[in-house]
Chain A
Amino acid sequence: MSFENLTSLLLYNREELPLFNSAFFLYFFTAFLFCYQLARKNERARVWVFTLFSLYFFYKACNEYVLLVILSAVVDFYISNRIHTEERNTVRKRLLWFSVAINVGMLCYFKYTNFFIQVINDVTAGNISPLNLVLPIGISFYTFENLSYTVDVYRREIKPVDKFMDYLFFLSFFPKLMMGPIVRAADFIPQIRKPYVLEMEDVGKGMFLIISGLFKKVVLSDFINQNFVQYIFDDPGRYSGIECLFGVYAYALVIYCDFSGYSDMAIGIARWLGFRLPANFDKPYRSSSITEFWRRWHISLSSWLKDYIYIPLGGNRKGTLRQYVNLMLTMLIGGFWHGASWNFICWGGVHGGALGIDKLWVQWQKTRGWMRETPLRARLWKAGGVLFTFHLVCFCWIFFRMEHFSGAWTLLGQITGEFRGHLLPQLLSAYPQVFILMAAGYFLHFLPPVAEKKLELGLQRMPVWASVAVMVTFIWFLNEVKTLEPMIPIYLQF
């Protein structure tokens, strides 16, 4: 062992993110839990310990940008307090706009500057050089949290926090740093005051979420992505349509498992620390309509968009046409939030359009009761809806995943023009592990919730030593999967 290794492990390293599935996180989390235990009885001490560890985690993830989260906490804490004490409406409004401008401006600067430079270059045939900007990790999440907090205070829905450290604690809370969920201050702040008490249910539920999150992220998402999905999306022209189609199905699982797995881990870790964060995903591919999909997918984002964009735009209160426009605008902004490129905007746009059509469809079939008259018919409609929604979402994922439109068109061209379905047996035997995992992933997705409850209950009843044994075995298994030699792509002879 050497001192240099230790310091390099503790310092920021651009190439190594402190992911929950890294060895670093295990050390960090143990040290943190130890200090948290020591500070357990005193609320202030707990807040300080938690906040300092969170800020360190930020530093480890994004170096000097940790100052950004502190700065935005300072600004929003003070502005919100001013908004609260201020009686004059115009001043309150101005303060709100000031806060919005700072938050959105900061997000735009880091995330979208180069995109806009590119757009200007394309339109004017100019050549402004792009800026050398690194996107501060988590900025998309904490900016939205700041915004909702200030807006809630402005709407007088919540009282602002009176202690700055509480606000910094909320904003920097490390479990949600990397991939959310987007937490509302109104849900979170009251939990700071509560003593650190855990029931067996919390321990079991937390552990279940951490293990299932790790399984989704490392085993399902990373493995399938690395050994199949990225090959197809890198060079779709080299693969037949059926390979491309399975690549898209696989990507749908990969993105869900990656994102929801990480959210689950964040929620599980928070649960172990005495905080309940709302669920962020609810088996989205079981949705039988696109509207339902958005109630089950990235719930913390979709509800945020609804409360702070769709409703302020007028929601459904300003006439039908306006409602569709609002829906579309909200989804376009939601798409753009995911990343600075036309692909994401297009992805949001297709979802916005689909949501609009779904609204029309719901109204149209309301007057046609015969469609769902018998239980069988209702069930068939439901199954058809699930299949249709899944494929619509998959279609949109193509644009989400591809860096350029041309790649998306190539992939769609292969599926529609070069399908070659007879290759299916060859394809399945070329990547056996990938397809076994894919089948398992979708099977688990459609498993009734009772099965999960049973597993959760089992984990709740375990003594500490058994939990340790489960964790050690599981991590050993993860190590095996993580270090498997990547398979090289197999070009089928078709």
Chain B
Amino acid sequence: MPSGNKHPYPFKIVLGTLLSLAAISLVNNTVSFGGYTLRPLDILADFRTGAPVEDSALVAEAALADSLKADSLAAPIHKDFATYTGILDYGFNAGNEGAGMQHFMHALKELKTGRRKKVRIAYFGDSMIEGDLITADLRDSLQAYFGGEGVGFVPATSVVSGFRTTITHSFSPNWTDYHFRNNPPAGTELGPSGHAFVPAPESWVRYQPVKHHRLDQFEEVSLLYGKGRRNIIVNNKTLELKGKGKINAYSFMSDSTQRSLTLKFLNENPALFYGVCFESPSGIFLDNYSFRGISGIELGKLSRTMWDELQDVRPYDLIVLHYGANVLFWPENTKFDWYEKPMVKVVDSLRRYFPQTSFLIVGTADKAYKKKGKYVTAPGVKALMKVQHKFAESRSIAYWNLFSAMGGEGAMTRWVDTAMANRDYTHFNFRGASKVGALLYKAIMDEYQQADM
């Protein structure tokens, strides 16, 4: 080894490294081995002039514009769905009353003019709405305008009970929760939330109202339960429930001297229990049916009988389907065939089960991912938006583009920067969810004001 002062070494090492890396950057350096492809290395990126990048997002957009042109010939809607921030109601195009927003708007008018007592919304979604995010604000605004008090459906147990701010919910740890993801035994009828709960001896669940306008007392309470006979103790009073159908409801007025509602299960005969609904005798009500991690196609696992009976015990005027976050698992993927076909099947069957109900598809929110050190809208977002719009349009139901309502391209990054979304660049926080709830409320109310009835 040469001796003496090694002062040139750092310079030589750094210069050698820089030149080698620059040389590597100048050639195509994508290396693959064993089926794994390394990402390209380009330390000269800062010097390159911004050559147009073949971005799949742009391709998707171009395709959108074309499809829109063709469609606009047939449809009376002349709005670019990719940028329109209101509700696009394809129900009107088909002249098919009920599938679009028409039935719901009609119900709202009747409610407002006193010709109807209740209007009910079932809002299905994934983790974007768990803990009553988005739906809490939408429900609150709707109830403020149309009347009604109460938080709607609350499951027996929930992974995010501590996170939910619209009700205080606690339960014993000995419940068994069957759901979409854990292969329930044959004959276990999952409820609309994708769960079915079996109490153990001494299982209990307690609900307490929270200090918030319209949520600070319980009025009309409905217990949703499965087939079979069982005794439960409701706030120290024994009640016998006889379930004839697959999904049954027992309703009663809450005792005004008792603030909270405690259910104890004696369980001489384990039978399925779904949850409790809180409403007032009249007004608008919204049930939040969230299930984390799903894409929406899981709803196809629920049985026709369950849906039919649900419609009997809890008729809905509007069904909202809000999915997408879990479809965009790989941000650069733009192919959603695996999702489109089964989801269309789900929509078709739901429409068959609820022929009189309005349907609204809430399109995917913006989702950003890190590309070259910066958070940008994932290419998959627009491609998914297009797929979701397509099945709304082809099935003549209503569509609301959350992506454009949020602000379109790059919106999620802006929402994260202004503390309205989490740093997973996917989920809203309370503030952001509140804003989404307000945006959807505005979109619904615009339709309501325009509805000509």
Contacts and interface: CB of A to CB of B under 8 A. Distances in A.
Interface of A: 1-2, 5-6, 9, 23-24, 26-27, 29-30, 33-34, 36-37, 40, 196-200, 202-203, 206-207, 226, 230-231, 234-235, 237-238, 240, 272-274, 410, 413-414, 417-418, 461, 464-465, 467-468, 471-472, 475-476, 479-480, 482-486, 488-491, 493-494
19 contacts: A2-B47, A6-B47, A9-B47, A26-B43, A33-B10, A33-B11, A235-B422, A273-B10, A464-B13, A467-B16, A468-B16, A476-B24, A476-B38, A479-B41, A485-B330, A488-B328, A489-B427, A491-B130, A493-B181
B179 interface: yes
A198 B7 contact: yes
A370 to B, nearest CB: 42
A23 B46 contact: yes
A198 B12 CA distance: 13
A49 B24 CA distance: 31
B5 interface: yes
A23 B7 contact: no
B14 interface: yes
B329 A29 contact: no
Interface string B88-109: 0000000000000000000000
A81 B142 CA distance: 72
Interface string B35-57: 00011010111111100000000
Given A197-B7, A198-B5, A461-B1, A472 B24 contact: yes
Given A26-B17, A199-B6, A479-B39, A237 B422 contact: no
A489 B11 CA distance: 43
B426 interface: yes
Contact of B9 (A2, A198, A410, A472): A198
Q: Give the interface size bracket for B toward A.
A: 35 or more
Contacts of A237: 131, 160, 162-163
B100 to A, nearest CB: 32
A488 B14 contact: no
B42 to A, nearest CB: 9
Given A30-B15, A238-B127, A464-B12, A493 B20 contact: no
Contacts of B292: 491, 493
Interface in B110-130: 127, 130
A98 to B, nearest CB: 41
A468 B47 contact: no
Contact of B159 (A6, A274, A493): A493
Contact of A33 (B14, B179, B182, B427): B14
Contacts of A198: 5-7, 9-10
Contacts of B372: 483
A207 B13 contact: yes
Contact of B127 (A240, A414, A491): A491
A231 to B, nearest CB: 5
Contacts of A493: 159, 179, 181-182, 292-293
A486 B41 contact: no
Contacts of A6: 47
Nearest to B130: A238
Which of A24, A238, A479, A486 has the most chain B CB atoms closer than 10 A to its own CB?
A238
B429 A488 contact: no
B299 to A, nearest CB: 16
Interface of B: 1, 5-18, 20-21, 24, 38-39, 41, 43-49, 127, 130-131, 159-160, 162-163, 179, 181-182, 292-293, 325, 328-332, 369-370, 372-373, 422-424, 426-427, 429
A491 B126 CA distance: 10
A418 B160 CA distance: 10
A23 B43 contact: yes
Contacts of A479: 39, 41
Contact of B424 (A203, A206, A231): A231
A240 B11 CA distance: 51
Contacts of A468: 12-13, 16-17, 20
B47 A485 contact: no
Given A231-B423, A479-B39, A490 B7 contact: no
B13 A467 contact: yes
A237 B13 CA distance: 49
Contacts of B127: 238, 491
Given A1-B48, A26-B21, A479-B39, 14 more contacts: A1-B47, A5-B48, A5-B49, A26-B17, A26-B18, A30-B15, A231-B424, A237-B160, A272-B10, A467-B9, A468-B16, A480-B38, A493-B159, A493-B181
B39 A475 contact: no
A359 B18 CA distance: 52
Contacts of B8: 37
B162 A413 contact: yes
Which A-B residue pairs are the 7 nearest by beta carbons?
A237-B163, A468-B16, A272-B10, A33-B11, A491-B292, A234-B422, A471-B17
A480 B33 CA distance: 14
A235 B24 contact: no
Contacts of B163: 237-238
